[in-house]
Amino acid sequence: MAEAPLTDNKKINLKEKLALFSEQWSARIVGEVNDSHIKLVKVQGEFMWHHHDTEDELFLVVSGALTIRLRDREIHLSEGEFFIVPHGVEHMPVASEEAHILLIEPKTTRNTGTDDNDRTVEPVWI
């Protein structure tokens, strides 16, 4: 994973970055701020139950709608809404139609949490 340049930072336009890829469930890194990455991801359908031992994860809906299933409830997010899944909390993101999500999470975060499986993806910079 390449290091992001810090001294010649450019502004990031979310829609322009989203136009650069179409693969679903494969987050792209668009920024780093302190120990966190800012990522964009396109999602549709069900992901899998997982949790992150030490990392909180923020989901902000850029377009579309996202449901985050928790074991005891569901969070329904529309454009302009975010939810923070605390570390240790099992969750499953679900979207009936494609939704575009901005993620904020530590650089160490693996998309499938504590599992390493066929949905595990190493994020790349765009």
Question: Binding marks (x or -) toward a copy of itself, 80..119, rule CB under 8 A?
Answer: xxxxxxxx----------------xxx-------------
Which is closer to a copy of itself, CB of 108 or CB of 120? Answer: 108
Q: With 0-12 CB in 10 A as exposed, 13-18 as middle and 19+ as buried, what is 70? A: middle
**Do 76 and 120 touch, CB atoms closer than 8 A?**
no
Q: Does residue 31 belong to the site contacting a copy of itself (CB under 8 A)?
A: yes
Single out the residue of 11, 116, 118, 122 in contact with a copy of itself (rule: CB under 8 A).
Answer: 11
Stretch that binds a copy of itself, among 11-19, 21-29, 92-100, 114-122 (CB under 8 A): 11-19
Sequence-distant (6+) residues with CB within 8 A of 72 are none
Distance CA 74, CA 36 (A): 26
Q: Does residue 34 belong to the site contacting a copy of itself (CB under 8 A)?
A: yes
